[in-house]
Amino acid sequence: MTATIDHIDATQRFAAHNYDPLPVVLTEGSGAWVTDVEGRRFLDCLAGYSALNFGHCHPRLVARATHQLQRLTLTSRAFHNDQLGGFAEAVTRLAGKDMMLPMNSGAEAVETAIKVSRKWGYEVKGVPTGKANIITMGGNFHGRTTTIVGFSDDPVASGGYAPFTPGFRGVEFGDSDAVAAAMDDCTVAVLVEPVQGEAGVIIPPEGYLTRLRQLCSEQGVLMVADEIQSGLARTGETFACDHEAVVPDIYVLGKALGGGLYPVSAIAADREVLDVITPGSHGSTFGGNPLASAIGSEVVAMLEDGHFQERSRQIGARLGLGLSALLGRGLEGVRIRGAWAGVDIDPGLMTGRQMCLSLMARGILAKETHGATLRLAPPLVATDDEIDMLVDAVTAVVTR
C-alpha cells in the first residue's frame, strides 16, 4: 500500500482539507469500474455525484472531446466559436426552451439562475429595486458559493462564512402550503431540487412539484428547478420534473452535462426570462468554450433516444427489489428514484462512513451523507450483474 499512502500523504500535506475521502487513490476508470494505484478494481456507485451518468471515459464522449481538443479549446466569449451555437440549440431542444446560458460548475449555474430571477423580477415583474426575494427549501444543496451557503440550513456548509446575502426565505421541503404562505408581491422565484440529493435522495410527496408549478404560475413567480444532480436521465426521466409532467421556468443543469470529462453547466429558459441578460451583465471566460460545447452537444445527442432514461428505470427497479428486502434487517429506509437511492442504515448497527469502508473492502465505492444515510448512484452503463453485486455487498455488510 506504499503508493496509496504516498499519494494520500501528499494530498494531506499540500491540499486544503475540504474533503474527507475514503482511503483509496484512483488512477483509471472505464464504464462503471475504477482502478486504484495498487491495481485493485472497484465498482463506482457514486458516479461523481451523477456527473458520470455515462460511466468513466465513455468512448463516444472521449472521441468527441479528443477531436475538439486537437482543434480549438478556448476562445473566451469575446469571439464566437463554431461549437456553441450547436450546443445551445441542443440544450434548448432537450429542455423545450427558447434559450440557454452556458457556465462551468453547477454552483455557477445556480448563481446565474438567481441573478436572472432577480433581474427578471425587477425588469419584467416590476418588483421595487432591492426588494426581490427567492423561496428556498430546507435541506437544500445548490453549491458552495457565499450566496448559496447563506440559504443553506446545514451548519457545516455555512459556518464561518457570514455575513450572507439577504433576499432568501427558507421553507420546509415538500410543504407546498409553506411556499404559498411565504410568497408575496416581491417574490421572484422558487428554487427547488425536484429530488434532494445531498440530503439523502429525498423524494417530495406526490403532487408537490405540480402544486409549486401552479403557485408560481398564479403568482407570477419563476419556478427554478435545480436538476444538476437529478437531471439528464439519473431519475429515469430526462428531468426529474418529468415525473409529474412539470415544466419549470428555468432548468439548472450541470454535472452529467459534461459527460464526466469536463465541467459544463447551463441554465435554460424562455426568451422572456433570458432576454434580461445583456452584454456585460453576466459572463464567464470559460462558459460556452468550444471543448465544453462539443462535449455537451454529444451528451444531449446520447440522451435523445431515451436509452439511458430506460436503463435508469431498470437499474432502479433492480435496486428496489434487492434493497427493500433489507428493511428491518439493518436498513431503516430506502428511497429510490431511477438509478438513485438513499439508504438509511440502522444507526445502532453502524455509521454511513463505516458502511462505505465495509463496502470498499468488498469492491464497492459509495458515499455517505448526514451520518447514517448511504447514497447510491451507479453509472447508467452498469449491467444487471454489477447492480446485483452492489446489492449483494450491501446485504453482506448489514446482515453479517
Residues carrying an active site annotation: 141, 226, 255
The sign of the dihedral angle between the CA atoms of 281, 282, 284, 289 is negative
Buried b (16+ CB within 10 A) or exposed e, 259-286: bbbbbbbbbbbbeebbbbbeeeebebeb
C-alpha grid cell, residue 264: 459544463
DSSP H helices, the chain, are 2-14, 47-50, 59-69, 84-95, 106-120, 146-150, 155-158, 176-182, 208-219, 271-274, 290-303, 307-324, 352-361, 384-398
| Count of beta carbons in the 10 Å neighbourhood of residue 395 | 17
Those residues with Cβ within 8 angstroms of residue 127's Cβ, 6 or more apart along the chain or in another chain: 121, 185, 186, 188
CA-to-CA separations, 363 to 108, 230, 340, in angstroms, rounded = 34, 26, 19
Contacts of 287 (CB under 8 A, 6+ apart): 77, 101, 102, 103, 104, 108
| Rounded-to-integer distance, Cα 259 and Cα 302, Å | 10
Collapse the DSSP code of 38 into the 3-class scheme (helix H, G, I; strand E, B; otherwise coil) and give the result: coil
Cβ contacts of residue 238 below 8 Å, gap of 6+? 94, 231, 232, 303, 309
